[in-house]
Structure 1
Amino acid sequence: MVVHTNAIVISALKYAEADLIVKCYTQKSGLKTYMLRGILKSRKGKFKASLFQPLTQLELVAKHKDKGSLEYLQDAKILVHYQTLHTEVVKSTMVMFISEMLKNTIHEEEKNEELYDYLENTFNWLDSHSDIANFHLLFLLKLTRHLGFYPEDSEKNLMYFNLLDGVFQHSKTNVYCIGGGLLNNLKLLLGTKFEALGQVKLSKPNRAELLELLLNYYQLHIESFKKPKSLTVLHEIFN
């Protein structure tokens, strides 16, 4: 079936001598994987490798078999021309981290318009704003809503948050319960919109601690989740 769809590049992996295996999150079909033959050697081919940088937004024409196999890409062109996402060091490092997180968390080959819209809107926001030190924290927290384990925050005034169950509670009932300053920083993010992100003030140690908390939260709720290898680079950039 030939499909015309917008898509966001999740990853591009070199295969053999000149091929690329590209994962995209598509607006119409969810996660799809494409084999691009000879793209790294051909100068006159239809596709350029630069099209498939992480988080690039594309317009695709593709043949989808929808059988969990590699799909065939007929055409691709840039949908959104980012101004800063791939050129500013801090943002490009954040892009590397976020794309790896998406690769480790999104696996469904089915349409999810709300998730696609969330990714599209947040990446456009990141490209056009400069106060982004806490972007990755809010992005990961809000992403959990689309992945099915956003914290139940109706009682966020309580003293502990249970990472395992995703709820706030009166007392500590297991080793996955957090409280104190770390909990207060988590509460700062809950309910915050990206437009108000500049009002969230965190020290470097608090930011690193909160990121570790969110990654542990993901690890508890996503089977076989792996922490991104780019985490070390991210820490270096912010320190």
Structure 2
Amino acid sequence: MKTYRGFLLSYVKYGDAHAVVNCFTDDGFQSFFIRNIFSKKSKQRAFLAPLNEISLHIQIKSGTDSLKEVSKMELLKHPELQQQYKAGAVLFFTADFLYQVLRNEQQNEEIYHEISTFLKHLEKGNMNVHYILLTRFLKISGILPLSGNGRYLDPETGTFSASQTHQLLDEEISELWKQIISDVHPYEITVPSELRKEFLDSVFLYYQLHLSDFRIPGSLEVVQQLF
């Protein structure tokens, strides 16, 4: 028997009652098969909410490469704001983003801790947390821009320069980037409502330039409409 602790990123229904769940666990990205979670008698389908922290007990079978099958699942942490519309949208969007960037990620305590920190701030009612998390993952991935004296972020070189090199990164947006990069408590930074769309667009531009095959999450439009 092996037990994994992890955050639910996505799931795919398999047949009428079963599911394959994708999680970032204490042992890296993992996919698991769960039987009968959508059956009428199951009380665990509510566990399949974005970024719920769950415990998965796996019966190890020797000599097989098949998908790990869950023998028992427990809910460890359910974000208190999950049922609130805006918070639920933030969780869905963030899980969508994390599923994409973590699919090939091995065990990484820093990432697991970062997701936990993100959730703690969201539970406090901070609806800016997803903007910060996206930037924090650039640091974890080793592609965070280098802070400097320039007033404009150059998204291609990842440095700050004296002149503007991209229309999305004017002085105001570049200054916001610089604040988040340099602040020791970035989750306490508030992204002004009038800058949120432009800032998020600039973050995804940076990802597209520095991560091969990166795609913008399909849930982005919902988040932009809300915020």
Q: For the superposition of Structure 1 and Structure 2, which TM-score range results when normalised by the shorter chain? A: 0.7 to 0.9
Q: Which of residues 162, 167, 184 in structure 1 aligns to 2:175?
A: 184
C-alpha distance in 1 between matches for 2:156 and 2:58? 40
Partner residue, 1:165: 157
C-alpha distance in 2 between matches for 1:105 and 1:69? 24
State whether residues 11 and 24 of structure 1, in contact with CA within 8 Å, keep that contact through their aligned partners in structure 2: yes
The TM-score with structure 1 as length reference comes to: 0.83
Partner residue, 1:104: 100
Partner residue, 2:113: 117
1:38-78 CA distance string (max 9 Å, x none): 3212515xx7111121100112222568x986222222211
Partner residue, 2:144: 150
Q: Which of residues 44, 47, 72 in structure 2 aligns to 1:48?
A: 44
Partner SS, residue 103 of structure 2 = coil
Partner residue, 1:133: 127
Cα 1:25–1:176 shift into 2, 3 Å: farther
1:196-207 equivalences in 2 (<5 Å) = 196-197=188-189, 200=190, 202=192, 204-207=193-196
C-alpha distance in 2 between matches for 1:11 and 1:51? 11
1:27-106 equivalences in 2 (<5 Å) = 27=26, 29-44=27-42, 48-63=44-59, 70-84=67-81, 86-106=82-102
Partner residue, 1:8: 7
C-alpha distance in 2 between matches for 1:63 and 1:191? 45
1:69-120 CA distance string (max 9 Å, x none): 6222222211124322x11111000001100000111122521111111112
Which residue identity lines up with residue 17 of structure 1 in the other structure? D
Q: Where in structure 2 are there 5+ consecutive unaligned residues?
A: none
Q: Equivalent pairs: percent with the same residue?
A: 23
Deviation at 1:218, TM superposition (A): 1.4
Q: What do you get for the CA RMSD once the two structures are aligned?
A: 2.4
Which residue identity lines up with residue 133 of structure 2 in the other structure? F
Cα 1:207–1:109 shift into 2, 3 Å: closer
Partner SS, residue 182 of structure 2 = coil
Deviation at 1:32, TM superposition (A): 0.3
Q: Where in structure 1 are there 5+ consecutive unaligned residues?
A: none
Deviation at 1:208, TM superposition (A): 0.7
